[in-house]
C-alpha cells in the first residue's frame, strides 16, 4: 500500500460527509458574545481593582496600587447605534439629511420591547427624509434557523408574482446559501407603522398620490437572520418611480456583515413551526 492508496481510501471513507450545520456568521456571533462576557468580567474585575486602590489610599502607603489600575473596556456597540450608522452612511448621499430616526422594536409576537431586550427579535429603523423619497427603512430581525426551509424564501417571488402583489421580484442565492430577494411593490397608508400591501390592480385604481412604491432588498440567511433595506417613493406606477437610492446601495446595506451577525432573538414563529 502506498501513501497515495491510503489517502484515496480515506477520501472515499469521507465522501458521505453530512452537510454543514453551522456558519461563519454563527462563529462571529459566538465570538462576540464571548468577548462581551469577558469584557463584563474584566469590568467587574476593574471595579474590584478600583475598590482595592481606593482602600489602599485610605489605609495609607504600603500597597502597589498602580499595578491594579483597571484597563478601560469598550462596551459593545448597541444594535440601534450600528443600524443608525449603517443607514446614515448608505442613504444620506442619495436622499440628504435623514431627520430623526423612528424605531420599532418587537418580539416574535410583535409586542414592543426596549432595544437590547433579550426577546427583541426585530429592529425596524425608519427615516422620512422628505423630498421625493417618502421613507427609507432598515430592518434587522431573527428567526429560528430551521425555519429557513419553512419560509420557502426560494419560492417567495413565484408566489408574490402569482398573487400580483409585486411589480418585479428577483431571487439570488449566495455562496453560503443565503437568499437575497429584490422586489418592487405598491403600498398604501405609508404614514402608519404598517403600510398596507396592495395588489397591482388595486394600486392602479387608487387616486394619484395615494400609492407609494417600495423597492426592498432583503437578505435571509441560513443561520436565521433577516436584513432588509428599502426605499419608498411616491409614483403612479413602478415604471415612473424615481428611485434615489441605487439598488446596489440597498444590496450592500442588506448584506452588511455587521448587521447580519447582530445579536437578536431567534424565537420560532408561532403557527409556522407548531410551537
Partner 1 sequence: MQRAERDLEFSEFYAARVRPLRRVAYVVTRDWHAAEDVTQRAFVKIYRAWPRIERAGLEAYARRAVVNESLSYVTRRPRDVVVDTVPELPVPETVETLDLGAALSTLPPQQRAVIALRFVDDRSVAETAEALGIAEGTVKSHTSKAIATLRRHVPTLAPDHSMRGLP
Q: Is 9 in the site for partner 1 (CB under 8 A)?
A: yes
* Closer to partner 1 by Cβ: residue 22 or 206: 22
Question: For residues 1 and 66, which CB has a smaller minimum distance to partner 1 in the complex?
Answer: 1
Residue 24 makes contact with partner 1 by CB under 8 A:
yes
Q: How remote is the C-alpha of 125 from its chain's centroid?
A: 11
- How far apart CA 97 and CA 91 sit, in angstroms, is 9
**Distance from C-alpha of 184 to C-alpha of 241, rounded to nearest angstrom:** 10
Coil, strand, or helix at residue 46? helix
- Count of Cβ atoms closer than 10 Å to residue 48 Cβ: 12
Q: Which of 6, 48, 57, 272 binds partner 1 (CB under 8 A)?
A: 6
Which of 156, 182, 230, 261: binder of partner 1 (CB under 8 A)?
261
Is 75 a binding residue for partner 1 by CB under 8 A? The answer is no
Q: With binding defined as CB under 8 A, does residue 173 bind partner 1? A: no
136 Cβ contact partners less than 8 Å away, ≥ 6 residues apart: 87, 91, 95, 98, 126, 127, 129, 229, 230, 231, 232, 245
| Closest alpha carbon to 147 in 274, 14, 252 | 274
Residue 41 binds partner 1, judged by CB under 8 A: no
Nearer to partner 1, 62 or 257 (CB): 257
Return the CA Rg of the chain.
25
- The residue (of 11 and 205) whose beta carbon lies closer to partner 1 is 11
Q: Does 31 bind partner 1 (CB under 8 A)?
A: yes
Under the criterion CB under 8 A, does residue 7 sit at the interface with partner 1? Answer: yes
Task: Please report whether residue 206 would count as binding partner 1 according to CB under 8 A.
Answer: no
- What is the distance between the alpha carbons of residues 13 and 80, in angstroms, rounded to a whole number? 48
Q: Looking at beta carbons only, is 45 or 82 nearer to partner 1?
A: 82
Q: What region does 110 belong to: left with phi over 0, alpha with psi -120 to 50, or beta?
A: left
Contact range with partner 1 by CB under 8 A, out of 21-29, 60-68, 90-98, 231-239: 21-29
d(CA 160, CA 149): 17
Which three cell numbers mark 36?
A: 462581551
CB of 14 to partner 1, least distance (A): 5
Residue selected from 161, 188, 197, 258 as contacting partner 1 according to rule CB under 8 A: 258
Based on CB atoms, which residue is closest to partner 1, 43 or 65? 43
Quick one: which segment of 12-20, 137-145, 234-242, 265-273 binds partner 1 (CB under 8 A)? 12-20
Binding partner 1 by CB under 8 A: which of 60, 62, 75, 257? 257
CA distance 141 to 27: 18
- Cβ atoms of 258 and 267 closer than 8 Å: no
- Which residues sit at the interface with partner 1, rule CB under 8 A? 1, 3, 5-7, 9-11, 13-14, 17-18, 20-28, 30-31, 34-35, 175-176, 256-258, 261
Amino acid at each position: 500500500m502506498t501513501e497515495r492508496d491510503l489517502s484515496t481510501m480515506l477520501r472515499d471513507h469521507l465522501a458521505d460527509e453530512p452537510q454543514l450545520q453551522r456558519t461563519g456568521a454563527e462563529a462571529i456571533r459566538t465570538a462576540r458574545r464571548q468577548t462581551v462576557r469577558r469584557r463584563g468580567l474584566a469590568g467587574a474585575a476593574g471595579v474590584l481593582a478600583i475598590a482595592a486602590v481606593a482602600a489602599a489610599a485610605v489605609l495609607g502607603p504600603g500597597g502597589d496600587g498602580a499595578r491594579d489600575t483597571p484597563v478601560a473596556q469598550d462596551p459593545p456597540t448597541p444594535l440601534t447605534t450600528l443600524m443608525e450608522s449603517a443607514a446614515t452612511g448608505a442613504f444620506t448621499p442619495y436622499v440628504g439629511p435623514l431627520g430623526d430616526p423612528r424605531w420599532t422594536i418587537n418580539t416574535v409576537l410583535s409586542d414592543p420591547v426596549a432595544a437590547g431586550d433579550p426577546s427583541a427579535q426585530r429592529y425596524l429603523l425608519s427615516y422620512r427624509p422628505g423630498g421625493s423619497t417618502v421613507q427609507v427603512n432598515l430592518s434587522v430581525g431573527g428567526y429560528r434557523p430551521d425555519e429557513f426551509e419553512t419560509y420557502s424564501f426560494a419560492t417567495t417571488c413565484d408566489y408574490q408574482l402569482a398573487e400580483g402583489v409585486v411589480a418585479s421580484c428577483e431571487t439570488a442565492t449566495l455562496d453560503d446559501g443565503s437568499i437575497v430577494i429584490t422586489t418592487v411593490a405598491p403600498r398604501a397608508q405609508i404614514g402608519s407603522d404598517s403600510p398596507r400591501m396592495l395588489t397591482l390592480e388595486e394600486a392602479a385604481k387608487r387616486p394619484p398620490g395615494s400609492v407609494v412604491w417600495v423597492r426592498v432588498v432583503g437578505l435571509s440567511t441560513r443561520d436565521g437572520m433577516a436584513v432588509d433595506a428599502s426605499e419608498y417613493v411616491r409614483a403612479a406606477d413602478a415604471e415612473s418611480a424615481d428611485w434615489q437610492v441605487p439598488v446596489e446601495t440597498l444590496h450592500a446595506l442588506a448584506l452588511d456583515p455587521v448587521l447580519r451577525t447582530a445579536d437578536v432573538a431567534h424565537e420560532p414563529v408561532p403557527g409556522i413551526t407548531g410551537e
